[in-house]
A and B are shown apart, each in its own frame.
Chain A
Amino acid sequence: MLQTFIQQIINGLALGSIYALIALGYTMVYGVLRLINFAHGDVYMIGAFVGYYAAQKFGIASASGQISFGGALILMMTAMMASASLGVVIERFAYRPVRKYPRLTSLITAIGVSLLLENGGQVLFGADPKFFPILNSAVTYTFGSVTVRLTDIIIVVVSVSLMVLLQTIVLKTKLGKAMRAVSYNLDAAKLMGINTDFIIAFTFALGSALAAAAGILVSLSFPKIDPLIGVLTGLKAFVAAVLGGIGNITGAVLGGFLIGIAETMAAGYLPQSLNSYKDAVAFAILILVLLFKPAGLMGSVAPEKV
């Protein structure tokens, strides 16, 4: 009994760090623009596909579809750069033109971008799933009846390092300071001489790069990828961001881990017949959070000014 519990916690940590990485992108964009970037989950999907095609193009994967750890790192860098550029392009050509309109307009635009990436992906990559190369050092460690995959350890270590890196950028650099200023008050930041357009683009680049990293990490663990993988994962990561308190970076990480663990617990403990409800867990959490603590665990409520 305890072993099942520990096993689910370990699985949950790996899944949760993925959600956390994606949630960071949602939360940062929401912080600077007050926009739910619906397309974020699809940027994550594009990241995975860039990795897939890069592996073929660079000949990193062996014939049997395996890659070394270093190879995976190269794929991740490539995917992060590609997605960062995509994020900037989306911001420049879809979101910036509608920034002056009411927020609902941006929201609809975001849904449009999301659908464009999903359906464009289906046309471009084909709707049938592709298989991502797997790590050749995919060892499994066993402690009693608890098994830990090396891939899971890599996922957690890499994502936590990325989170630390992000935290350093946001808290210790001038760019980070500017990001915080824009998030606090966009107009005031502009008056202080901050190039807000650049900061917003930078935020998109940062968030999209993290999403791409998550895309590669997930694909190493679950190699089946298709153009719609971003939909559900993106939504759950968004729920994670809301749970932690949207706009709050630490909150996004906390929320990500909580959602990940809740989901694996549901998968582990729900009876087989209810297993299709595992995907509904995140939504149920979302609804409960919004009803009882709309600001999230670490967020603060800003009273609406008239």
Chain B
Amino acid sequence: MPPLVKKLLWSLGTVGILLVVNQVMVNGIGGYGIPAQDYYVRVLTLVGISIIAAVSLNLINGYTGQFSIGHAGFMAVGGYTAAYISFYYGAGILNTLQGLPLPVALTIRLFISLLIGVVFSALAGFVVGMPSLRLKGDYLAIVTLGFGEIIRIIILSIDSVGGARGFSSIVQGATEPPDQRMFEFLKESIFFWVFLFAVITVVIVKNLVNSTFGRALTSIRENEIAAEAMGINTTRYKVIAFVISAGLAGLAGGLFAHYDNYLNTNSFTFVKSVEVIIMIVLGGMGSITGAILGATVLTILPELLRDLQQYRMVIYSLLLIVIMIVRPQGILGRRELSLSGLFGKKKTV
């Protein structure tokens, strides 16, 4: 089979499976007594968003070895921009697309909002990364932390996105009476969109790290001076990786905005950045499946520990310290889980 056809089939298969799962989860299967799984839809949607955030952070922290702790800042930029577009221009976009069937128009509207969010967070990544990636290790960490906080303070002072009140009824928009079409559409399909984008993120990051570009990033992680001596423009590669990572973080933020229909800067504090870091540290820095594993475990864990809500962050921080002491490379380290690996098949190179 030609590779292009194979890829096409894989993509179609993935979309199909996601659509079916989405249908079953949201509506249940009438005749077979399987009810709609609202609770699981909610938890799994959050898992999907966490996967996007963790896998994208892994690109810069795990593969490039640059320790950024401002990921929440980029999620905030993407989230707020996408929300802004949806809120103020959503109705306009739908009007322009009047001839198209409604679901298609709504999909295009969602894509436009998300895309502009991604562009803005990538731009923010460029602005932050350009000066600060010249720094190393601890300094980079503290600068990204500072930028993350500054981004949050700036958003907090913009009144058109709600300021300290938070940004509510994002998908309904500013019109009177509220336009419920997008809301109803997302209620049916946000699970599908989140997982579709999670798959896309994983594919992007996987292809990146397995390319020449990815090998350059790994060489920077292993030894920056040696990488430079081999002719790699380290700053350039670091900035590109940082911009991609920030853009994908913005995607996670945008999806979160459309899922929750409410944004508040309190969701994007330093603690949020640390949560994403714990995900990749737990799963293994420099492993995509590790990041997915970490994101899944750490999103579901608080649900299971609901009674211990108060102690959640205490447990998280203890967990972080213990992992660092016992197994600093995380559960998977830099290895990847794969189906063939699981069934003991030998990998052919």
Min CB distance A120 to B, Å, is: 6
B interface size (C-beta, 8 A):
40
Closest chain A residue, CB of each to CB of B319? A112
Q: When A277-B153, A279-B153 are in contact, do A119 and B317 touch as well, CB less than 8 Å?
A: yes
Identify A283's interface contact among B65, B146, B226, CB under 8 A: B146
Q: When the two chains form their complex, are residues B150 and A283 in contact, meaning their CB atoms are under 8 A apart?
A: yes
Q: When A105-B328, A283-B149 are in contact, do A115 and B320 touch as well, CB less than 8 Å?
A: yes
Q: When the two chains form their complex, are residues A109 and B141 in contact, meaning their CB atoms are under 8 A apart?
A: no
Residues of B118-140 whose CB lies within 8 A of A? 131-132, 134-135, 137-139
Judge if B69 is at the interface, Cβ distance under 8 Å: yes
Min CB distance B203 to A, Å, is: 27
Q: When the two chains form their complex, are residues B328 and A116 in contact, meaning their CB atoms are under 8 A apart?
A: no
- Among A45-53, A264-272, A285-293, the stretch that binds chain B is A285-293
Interface class of chain A by DSSP: helix
Identify A98's interface contact among B139, B142, B156, B325, CB under 8 A: B325
Identify B138's interface contact among A36, A105, A283, CB under 8 A: A36
Min CB distance B160 to A, Å, is: 15
Interface class of chain B by DSSP: helix
Q: When A116-B314, A286-B143, A290-B132 are in contact, do A109 and B325 touch as well, CB less than 8 Å?
A: yes
Identify A101's interface contact among B135, B277, B328, CB under 8 A: B328
Judge if B225 is at the interface, Cβ distance under 8 Å: yes
Residues of B43-93 whose CB lies within 8 A of A? 65, 67, 69
Considering residues B143, B311, B321, which has the most beta carbons from chain A within 10 angstroms of its beta carbon? B321
Q: When the two chains form their complex, are residues B314 and A98 in contact, meaning their CB atoms are under 8 A apart?
A: no
Q: When the two chains form their complex, are residues A116 and B131 in contact, meaning their CB atoms are under 8 A apart?
A: no
Identify A116's interface contact among B134, B139, B321, B325, CB under 8 A: B321
Judge if A128 is at the interface, Cβ distance under 8 Å: no
A103 contact set on B, CB distance < 8 A: 137-138
Contact string against A for B residues 285-312, beta-carbon threshold 8 Å, 1 for contact and 0 otherwise: 0000000000000000000000000110
A interface size (C-beta, 8 A):
41
Q: Given the complex of chains A and B, what is the CA–CA distance between A229 and B233 in angstroms?
A: 42
Judge if A157 is at the interface, Cβ distance under 8 Å: no
Contact string against A for B residues 306-336, beta-carbon threshold 8 Å, 1 for contact and 0 otherwise: 0000110110111011001100100000000
Contact string against B for A residues 81-114, beta-carbon threshold 8 Å, 1 for contact and 0 otherwise: 0000000000000100110011111011101111
Min CB distance B226 to A, Å, is: 8
A36 contact set on B, CB distance < 8 A: 138, 141-142
Q: When the two chains form their complex, are residues B328 and A113 in contact, meaning their CB atoms are under 8 A apart?
A: no
Min CB distance A83 to B, Å, is: 19
Considering residues A105, A113, A123, A290, which has the most beta carbons from chain B within 10 angstroms of its beta carbon? A290
Q: Given the complex of chains A and B, what is the CA–CA distance between A118 and B274 in angstroms?
A: 13
Q: When A123-B311, A290-B143 are in contact, do A276 and B157 touch as well, CB less than 8 Å?
A: yes
Identify A107's interface contact among B138, B150, B313, CB under 8 A: B138
B270 contact set on A, CB distance < 8 A: 231
Q: Given the complex of chains A and B, what is the CA–CA distance between A289 and B197 in angstroms?
A: 39
Q: When the two chains form their complex, are residues A107 and B225 in contact, meaning their CB atoms are under 8 A apart?
A: no
Identify B321's interface contact among A94, A276, A294, CB under 8 A: A94
Q: When A107-B67, A294-B135 are in contact, do A123 and B321 touch as well, CB less than 8 Å?
A: no
Judge if A165 is at the interface, Cβ distance under 8 Å: no
Judge if B161 is at the interface, Cβ distance under 8 Å: no
Q: When the two chains form their complex, are residues B281 and A108 in contact, meaning their CB atoms are under 8 A apart?
A: yes
Q: Given the complex of chains A and B, what is the CA–CA distance between A304 and B139 in angstroms?
A: 15
Judge if A280 is at the interface, Cβ distance under 8 Å: yes
Contact string against A for B residues 139-168, beta-carbon threshold 8 Å, 1 for contact and 0 otherwise: 101110111011001001100000000000
User: 14 pairs across A/B with beta carbons < 8 Å?
Assistant: A101-B324, A103-B137, A103-B138, A105-B328, A111-B277, A111-B320, A115-B320, A242-B139, A286-B143, A286-B146, A287-B147, A291-B131, A294-B135, A304-B225
Question: Interface of B with A (CB < 8 Å)?
Answer: 65, 67, 69, 131-132, 134-135, 137-139, 141-143, 145-147, 149-150, 153, 156-157, 225-226, 270-271, 274, 277, 281, 310-311, 313-314, 316-318, 320-321, 324-325, 328
List 9 tightest A-B contacts by C-beta distance, closest first.
Answer: A112-B320, A283-B146, A115-B317, A119-B313, A116-B317, A112-B321, A109-B324, A105-B328, A97-B325
Excluding A115-B317, A286-B146, 8 further A-B contacts by CB distance (< 8 Å) are A97-B325, A98-B328, A109-B325, A111-B277, A112-B317, A283-B149, A287-B132, A290-B139
